[in-house]
Every structure is written in structure tokens, then in C-alpha cells.
Structure 1
Amino acid sequence: MVAGTREKILEVGKREFLAKGFKDASLRHIVKEAGFTQGAFYGYYPDKAALFDALVSPAADGLIEQFKAAQKAHFDLVDEGRADESGSLSTAYLRRFVGYLYDNFDAFKLIICCSGGTRYEHFVHDLVELELEQTARFYEEVAAQGGPENRISPELQHMITSAYFTAVFETVAHDMPRERALSYIEELAAFFTCGWEGLLGARE
């Protein structure tokens, strides 16, 4: 096959998905625009979903790994008796996450705005669920070491966490310039940190 076929298909596929979303993107148009036959396409990807996956999975998997590393760092704080530093650690990792989003901007634009009908359709929701699961474990460990218990209802915790993650990904959804996004998430972190502290203090 012609050298560069895969790269050409990825390039054209990305444009098509960004313009129309996964559901409305035309595989026939992608192949035609790339200047190859349908058979050449199937030599690389079995279907349109596999092409979409190839465009976004490296970035998505990388973010999940960073997210898990952040969670481990929070549990390390508990082990070291420094759980009260969790808020500042969260903000530090948020800066890393947003930098990573912008280093892989097109992939996350596809995930956030164009992934309906793919396994990435609920990517943000899945992150929220992972965060809630790890947060519950975090507070259990804090309480086991004599710290305060988390008395916030699961329903409220879910709503606040979902709002937080949605707000972070709005930077990508609205094509916010990187520098503006970095400034925005500092304000966002301050807002949610104050909110959590006020809410937890009110429940003690």
C-alpha cells in the first residue's frame, strides 16, 4: 500500500469527525477524501468506530493514567498524616490535567463534542464515577486514622463532582485559548475549594 496511508486516513477522519460528529461522519467520504479505496481503509481499520478509537484512545488512556496517579498521591497524603493538604494537591494536578488536555486538544475535542455513538460518549461521566469511588475510599481512610468523616450525601457529592468535571472540560468544548484556560481553572479551583471547605465545615 502507499506509504502514509494510515496517516492520511487519520488526518481526514479527524476532520470529518470534528465537522460532523461520529454518528454523522461518512466513512465513504473519509475514504474518498483520503484518495484511497475502501479496501485500503479496511486494511487498517475494521470500521468507523475503530478509526475514531485510534484518534482518541492514546490521549484518553493517558488522562486516565494521570488521574489514577493523582488518586494515589492523595492516598499517600493520608498515609503520611497530611490529608489536610488534599486541596492544594488537587489544584496542582488540575493544572497538569488541563495542560495535558491542551497538548492533545483535538483528541479531547472529539471525545467531548463528537463522540456520541462511541464508547467515549460517557467519558466525563465515567471519570466522575471513578472520582466518587476513590473519594469514598479516601474519606474512609481519613476517618480510620481519626480524621473527620465525610457527611455529605452521595447525591450531593455526585452533583458537585459532575459539575466540577463538566466545568473543567468546558475549556475544550468552547475552544478556550490555553492561557485563558489555565487562568480559568485557577478561578474554578478556588471556587470549588471554598465551596467544599464551607460545606464540610457546615456538616461538622
Structure 2
Amino acid sequence: MPEYTNTQKKILEIGKKEFLKKGFKDASLRGIVKEAGFTQGAFYGYYPDKVSLFEALVSEAADGLMEQFKAAQDAHFDLIPGDKAAQSRNLSTEYLECFINYIYDNFDAFKLVVCCADGTRYAGYIHDLVELDVAQTERYHAELEKHGKLEGHVGRKLHHMITSAYFTAVFETVAHDMSREEAVEYVRELASFFNSGWEGLLRLK
């Protein structure tokens, strides 16, 4: 966690409030500076533009989740040598609960990403997660097929649509301001629903 000066903390606090209220596109840098009580010169001493301020608020949490997700995807491959591929869906559900708690530990950052990021590189964040998941899962399925541990097949278009629906549904917890307790129960039910669907299409051995 970076160390911030009091001035920087105030800029971040006011900036977050402005972005949450208006979204990135409509947020006013001049308004942020004015409410913070600083000159624009003081602001530019910390952030060169509105984009960098937004990224300072979200990048650590959003990039951290992406890295955790990549590690979780890799962990599935470790199930194959131990003949534990059938546990893959349970593993996914366990990781999902870890992810939702991480999201709620950084709720404001993910609220900005999910609801306020249009016009920034985080506008496609959910899509990026979907693309990563589809690519990694296809690699995993190919490895399972090679070892005779997978029955059934799903085409890429359907795979992408299902995964997109899943991730969109997961982040509805943030969009609708669910409590952490509601969110955890919701994603458990969501995982159960989607796991049943995947089991109907692909049977793991």
C-alpha cells in the first residue's frame, strides 16, 4: 500500500466522491480541485490528469484481482496429475468466494470499475476477465480431453456467452450495493446454478 501525504489523501477522497457521483466522463477535474481546496498546480504535483487520478483509485484493487484470477486458473491444471479433475467445479466455487470477499474488501474501487469507468482502460474490465477465463478454460479442457477426463464439448461462442453472463452476474453484487453477507450467499447460489449447467454440457471424470 503506497504512502500518501495528507494533500494526496484529500485529493483521492474528493476524487472518489466525484467519480462515484458522476462517473469518470462527467467528473470535473476543476470541481475536484476546488472542493479539495487546492490550486490546480498542487493537484498536478500528484497527478498529471483525471485519468491518472482515477487509476490511482482503482488500479491496485482491480489489477490485484486480475492477478489472483490468473493464479486460480493455473491451479486447476494441478488437479490433472492427481486424478482430481472432477473437483474442478468445487475449486472454482471456493475461489469465487475468495474473490467476492476481496471485492468487498475493496468495494469502492470495484464500484468505480463496474459503474463509473466508461472512458478509461477499465471500462472493459469484465470483458477482459471473460476473455482470460475463456482462453484459460479452453486450454484446460484441451488438457482434460488429452487425458480422457472430459466428455462433451462446447463451442467458443456459447462458451463466451455463458462466461460473460456469469461474470456480469457476479459483479451485479457491486452494481446493486449488496451487503457482503448477501453477496456471498448470492454467488454461492450463482455458482450452483452455473455448475449444474456446465455439468449438463461437460462431464468431468
TM category, shorter: over 0.9
> Tell me, which stretches of 5 or more residues in structure 1 are unaligned?
none
User: Shift in Å at residue 79 of structure 1?
Assistant: 2.7
Q: Which moved more, 1:12-21 or 1:144-153?
A: 144-153
Aligned residue identity for 1:40: A
| One-letter amino acid matched to 1:151 | H
CA distance in 1, matches of 2:141, 2:152: 6
Q: Which residue of 1 aligns with 2:105?
A: 103
Give the paired residue count.
199
Q: 1:200 deviation in Å?
A: 2.3
Matched, 1:65 2:67: yes
Per the normalisation by structure 2, the TM-score is 0.95
Task: Give how far 1:150 is off.
Answer: 5.3
**Distance of aligned partners of 1:94 and 1:48 in 2 relative to their CA distance in 1, 3 Å threshold:** same
1:30 aligns with 32
Q: Helix, strand or coil: the match of 1:146?
A: coil
1:1-204 maps to which residues of 2 (within 5 A)?
A: 3-148=5-150, 151-200=153-202
Distance 2:80 2:134 in 1: 17
Between structures 1 and 2, the one with greater helix share: 1
Counterpart Cα distance in 1 of 2:152 and 2:73: 17
| C-alpha distance in 2 between matches for 1:146 and 1:196 | 18
Report if the CA contact (8 A) 1:139-1:150 is conserved.
no
8 Å CA contact 1:152, 1:200 repeated in 2: yes
Q: Mind listing any 5+ residue stretches in structure 2 that lack a counterpart?
A: none
Cα distance in 2 between the residues matched to 1:123 and 1:138: 22
TM-score, with structure 1 as normaliser: 0.95
Q: CA deviation at 1:106?
A: 0.1
Q: % of aligned pairs identical? A: 66
**Which residue identity does 2:125 align to in structure 1?**
F
Amino acid at match of 1:142: L
Distance 1:35 1:177 in 2: 33
